[in-house]
């Protein structure tokens, strides 16, 4: 197993200048979104990149994590905290899937450093408000039931090693929505499913859109 690079080593790495590329969606479809509202379904552009007693993360632990995310901290500490929050330890220490850096974790740090250098930093107040909204957002059983009644195609995906949202929350969502909700659990994967399980994630989305479009076409026929 490779040893993670330091920030200095990542900045000096020959692959760092081209670590990120900007991609625009290259496929467009008439997705069955907002069918029951005026103007629906929306034509959207999408990109293929790549209730009951439940044991959940204690509320105070959840709040502490959110506070820790926005607490000002030294660069190295901030990068390490970000890695731990959104990726599984196994994926971070595994060899870089693109073969340019020693580990996947090194690539993530390189991408974050590239963004800091090339892009304008987000407004701190916006980040704070977003964290507060996520932490105190509540979607009760009644609203979940209405959601399931109004929207025929819903996909719930979660990773069992998600450190930001306890993966068992997905059970509550699915039970509340009922109807035709589809659920996919990625074993051993963290918060960023599209990074750690890129091929499976792409396949899941393509299959979901295909089923949704086919169902909508049958209903409209």
Task: Break the chain into its structural domains and give their ranges.
Answer: 7-220
Q: Which residues of the chain have pLDDT under 70?
A: 1-3, 16-70, 122-138
**Residue 173 CA to its chain's centroid (Å):** 16
Query: CA angle, 135 as apex, 188 and 158 as ends, to 5°?
Result: 25
pLDDT for position 203:
93
pLDDT for position 50:
35
Contact 153, 180 (CB under 8 A): yes
pTM for the model: 0.65
Give the burial class of 54: count Cβ atoms within 10 A of its Cβ; 0-12 exposed, 13-18 middle, 19 or more buried: exposed
C-alpha dist (Å) from residue 14 to 18, 73, 107:
9, 28, 12
pLDDT tens track for 7-44: 777 777 777 666 655 555 455 555 544 444 444 454 54
Cα–Cα nearest to 197, from 160, 153, 154? 160
Residues with Cβ < 8 Å from 59, sequence gap 6 or more?
none
Q: What is the CATH number of domain 7-220?
A: 3.40.50
Backbone φ and ψ of 143, nearest 5°: -70, -35
Which pairing describes strands 27-29 and 44-46: parallel, antiparallel, or unpaired?
Answer: antiparallel
DSSP state of 197: T
**Residue 128 CA to its chain's centroid (Å):** 19
């Amino acid at each position: 197993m490779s040893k993670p690079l330091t920030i200095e080593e990542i900045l000096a790495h020959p692959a760092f200048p081209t670590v990120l590329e900007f991609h625009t969606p290259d496929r467009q479809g008439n997705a069955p979104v907002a069918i029951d509202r005026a103007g629906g379904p929306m034509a959207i552009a999408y990109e293929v990149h790549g209730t009951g007693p439940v044991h959940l993360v204690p509320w105070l632990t959840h709040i502490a994590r959110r506070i820790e995310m926005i607490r000002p901290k030294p660069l190295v500490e901030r990068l390490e905290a970000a890695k731990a929050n959104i990726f599984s330890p196994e994926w971070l220490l595994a060899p870089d899937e693109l073969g340019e850096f020693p580990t996947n974790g090194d690539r993530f740090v390189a991408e974050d450093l590239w963004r800091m250098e090339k892009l304008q930093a987000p407004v701190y107040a916006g980040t704070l408000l977003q964290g507060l909204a996520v932490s105190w957002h509540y979607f009760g059983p009644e609203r979940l039931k209405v959601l399931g009644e109004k929207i025929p195609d819903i996909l719930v995906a979660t990773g069992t090693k998600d450190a930001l949202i306890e993966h068992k929350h997905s059970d509550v969502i699915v039970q509340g929505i009922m109807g035709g909700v589809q659920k996919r659990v990625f074993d051993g994967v963290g918060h960023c499913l599209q990074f750690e399980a890129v091929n499976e994630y792409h396949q899941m989305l393509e299959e979901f859109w295909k089923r949704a479009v086919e169902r909508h076409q049958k209903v409209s026929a």
